[in-house]
């Protein structure tokens, strides 16, 4: 009689089954509907193949498409393997390497055979069709355990030099797992996989692009081709994703930045932004808004140096943990001769600041601070530099020079929860004023490499949790979630993730509770007991950086800024030259009312003017002709709306003035 094991299901019920029973067999015993829907199994919390036999007492949960995160990970992993199989079927001699699932799909790195050029976009339709053929064949995906030596022998025999190299680096004597697709193709893989290729939807994936890659990410190694795809559970999800990508392309801040003449970037200043007049208006409006917000919240604005001695960064801990991201500067006059080194070996080193925190501690340390002085909230629109790799730079979203809306709150232990709660409430108001109704708050917990004791981290994490709860934001509505291992090396942090108009999320604001930096930089205050104590330092930002936040706003609004942020808020356009004088007077009255306005008196058809200013994303177009000039009216057109409204000029000015008022200044 077979030995029996106990399988406990999520509802608490248990079944006695023979050792070697598969989760698929248990699903079939529960019911035919579940047998059809089940994709994989979660065994004591670990995702495994549904056909893998059970060997001991276990907790079992069956994964279906309703378990979307796990299901997507599985199907994307399968799509990657099917991609590799398709490429090798079409072009024998292709070498395969690795192909993981990604956040929205999958990729696989391959090396084309010597008989042909590297793979290109032209090859993707044929690969897609071959993949669908493999899916329709519904080939079983079967797991086997091989010895390391047997697998190395197979790869070397078949000329798979990359796979052989990887297998040789695994520990001797270790058994390795492979997955067969049918009986004619296999790959080395930990799994898990679905039961067969037919379990993925042949209409729910699309190959997107190809790119160059290097074996193991090292440019000294062989160059490969990385084939990217996007994969989903069904065609409806794929179509929604492709639609989002189309919308994202239309909203690309780099494209709109050129079209709207907001900014540009060029090689002479890698990763630094050249702001044009229209773009800098947006910057100044945000900066003015933020200054009003922080003044009202009791912050004191400061300005600190761009360059500080390396010893300061050593003391703060950044030199040891962050130096690869810093721009360093020799503290000596460079050699002006044609020969010899530019900088001597004796040069002392300084660094452009990558963040503002150590400088703010130095301000705090000036003069004796009492417990009565706390909390002390120090704010800076601080320009920082980080040495990002050239390949990682991306428009305004990833730059080397950026300005943070940065502040540090120095407070007593008993003030932490109140201060974090006030910050949560301030951030909530600001994000809603900026047009973001939806956001999530996440708590990033201690990383493996960190300063400070476990007791200190326990306390800091609890304080942040309590503050969010007191602000009423630790709820499902606000996407409350905890992220193990993702805190900074000196502190846990709260993160704000905004959801934009097309459903993308952007991580922007943070607040971090830090007891390490005040200790390292010897910050103290005189407490009520007359003794010196360390303040707790709360690092916080709401925009994150002005550059990235403006990029997010451009894409969120598709360039159609709310009127208060728009570089040009209105254009007065004439139909006939007889209205020129009236148009000039109307524009002057708008300027006097504080409206940013342009006049368009060109001898062009009005439809041409309407189209041009609509493309420029001007919120309001005030059209005037001979009749409007005689009656003192305007025909007002609103961006994104059909038709026009005729109204007296004074009424139009009042309307625009209300729309142009920043949200925090409205009655």
Question: For the chain, what is the total number of helices (H) and then of strands (E)?
Answer: 20, 32
Which residues are the active-site residues? 357, 386, 404, 406, 408, 493, 539
Pairing of strands 46-49, 493-499: unpaired
Helix (H) or strand (E) holding 540: strand 536-541
List alpha helices for 318-415, DSSP H: 318-322, 357-364
Q: Rounded CA gap, 589 and 20, in Å?
A: 85
- Please tell me the distance from the alpha carbon of residue 131 to that of residue 202, in angstroms, as a whole number: 8
Name the residue among 431, 425, 452 with its Cα closest to residue 513.
Answer: 452
Half-sphere CA count of 412, side-chain side, radius 13 A:
14
Nearest to 491 by CA among 651, 271, 317, 280: 317
By CB neighbour count within 10 A (0-12 exposed, 13-18 middle, 19+ buried), where does 146 fall?
Answer: middle
Q: In 228-302, which residue ranges form alpha helices assigned H by DSSP?
A: 235-251, 253-259, 277-296
Contact of 600 with 624, CB cutoff 8 Å: no
What are the Cα distances from residue 526, in Å, to 124, 409, 514, 530?
A: 69, 17, 19, 6
> β-strands 505-514, 493-499: how paired?
antiparallel
Phi and psi at residue 632, to the nearest 5°:
70, 35
Instruction: Phi first, then psi: give them for residue 77, nearest 5 degrees.
Output: -65, -40
CA-based Rg of the chain, rounded to a whole angstrom? 31
DSSP structural state of residue 339: S
Contact yes or no for 191/143 (Cβ under 8 A): yes
| DSSP-derived secondary structure letter, 345 | T
Q: How far apart are CA 23 and CA 61, in angstroms?
A: 9
Which residues, at least 6 apart from 96, have a Cβ–Cβ distance to it below 8 Å? 84, 87, 88, 108, 109, 110, 160, 162, 163, 187
CA distance 64 to 667: 52
Q: Among residues 470, 471, 462, 479, which one has the least CA distance to residue 426?
A: 471
Return d(Cα 63, Cα 55) in angstroms, integer.
19
């Amino acid at each position: 009689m077979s030995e029996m094991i106990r399988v406990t299901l999520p509802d608490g019920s248990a079944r006695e089954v023979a050792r070697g029973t598969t989760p698929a067999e248990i699903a079939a015993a529960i019911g035919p509907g579940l047998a059809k829907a089940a994709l994989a199994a979660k065994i004591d919390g670990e995702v495994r193949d549904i056909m893998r036999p059970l060997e001991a007492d276990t907790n079992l949960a069956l994964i279906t498409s309703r378990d979307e995160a796990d299901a997507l990970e599985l199907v994307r992993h399968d799509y990657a393997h099917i991609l590799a199989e398709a490429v090798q079927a079409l072009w024998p001699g292709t070498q395969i390497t690795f192909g993981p699932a990604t956040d929205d799909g999958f990729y696989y790195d391959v090396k084309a055979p010597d008989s042909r050029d590297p793979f290109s976009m032209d090859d993707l339709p044929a690969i897609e069709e071959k993949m669908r053929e493999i899916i329709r064949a519904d080939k079983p995906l079967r797991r086997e355990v091989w010895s390391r030596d047997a697998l190395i022998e197979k790869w070397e025999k078949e000329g798979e030099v990359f796979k052989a190299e990887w297998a040789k680096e695994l520990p001797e004597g270790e058994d390795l797992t492979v997955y067969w697709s049918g009986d004619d193709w296999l790959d080395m893989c930990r799994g898990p996989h679905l039961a067969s290729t037919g379990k993925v939807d042949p209409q729910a994936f699309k190959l997107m692009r190809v790119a160059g890659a290097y074996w193991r990410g090292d440019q000294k190694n062989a160059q490969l081709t990385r084939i990217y795809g996007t994969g989903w559970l069904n065609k409806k999800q794929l179509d929604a994703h492709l639609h989002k990508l189309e919308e994202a392309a239309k909203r690309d801040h780099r494209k709109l930045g050129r079209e709207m003449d907001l900014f540009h970037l060029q090689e002479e200043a890698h990763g630094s932004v050249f702001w044009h007049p229209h773009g800098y208006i947006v910057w100044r409006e945000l900066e003015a808004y933020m200054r009003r917000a922080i003044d009202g919240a009791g912050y004191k604005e400061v300005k600190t140096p761009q360059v500080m001695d390396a010893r300061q960064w050593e003391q703060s801990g950044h030199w040891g943990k962050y130096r690869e991201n810093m721009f360093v500067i020799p503290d000596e006059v460079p050699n002006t001769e044609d020969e010899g080194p530019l900088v001597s070996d004796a040069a002392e080193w300084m660094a452009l600041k990558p963040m503002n925190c150590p400088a703010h501690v130095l301000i705090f340390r000036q003069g004796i601070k009492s417990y009565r002085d706390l909390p002390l909230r120090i704010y800076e629109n601080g320009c920082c530099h980080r040495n990002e790799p050239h390949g990682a730079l991306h428009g305004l979203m990833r730059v080397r020079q950026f300005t943070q809306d940065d502040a540090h709150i120095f407070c007593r232990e008993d003030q932490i929860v109140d201060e974090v709660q006030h910050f949560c409430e301030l951030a909530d108001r600001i994000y809603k004023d900026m047009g973001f109704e939806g956001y999530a708050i996440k708590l990033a917990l201690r990383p493996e490499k960190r300063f400070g004791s476990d007791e200190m981290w326990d306390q800091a994490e609890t304080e942040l949790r309590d503050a969010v709860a007191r602000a009423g934001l630790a709820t499902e509505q606000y996407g409350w979630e905890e992220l193990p291992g993702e805190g900074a090396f000196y502190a846990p942090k709260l993160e704000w993730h905004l959801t934009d108009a097309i459903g993308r999320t952007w991580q922007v604001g943070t607040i971090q509770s830090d007891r390490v930096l005040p200790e390292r930089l010897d910050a103290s205050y005189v407490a009520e007991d007359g003794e010196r104590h360390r303040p707790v330092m709360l690092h916080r930002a709401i925009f994150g950086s002005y550059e990235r936040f403006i990029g997010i706003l451009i894409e969120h609004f598709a360039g159609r800024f709310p009127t208060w942020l728009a570089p040009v808020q209105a254009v007065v356009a004439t139909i006939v030259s007889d209205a020129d004088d009236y148009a000039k007077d109307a524009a002057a009255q708008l300027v006097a009312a504080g409206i940013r306005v342009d006049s368009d008196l060109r001898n062009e058809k009005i439809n041409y003017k309407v189209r041009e200013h609509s493309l420029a994303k001007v919120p309001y177009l005030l059209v005037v002709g001979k009749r409007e000039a005689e009656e003192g009216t305007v025909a007002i057109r609103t961006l994104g709306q059909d038709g026009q409204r005729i109204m007296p000029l004074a009424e139009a000015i009042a309307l625009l003035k209300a729309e142009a008022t920043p949200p925090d200044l409205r009655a």
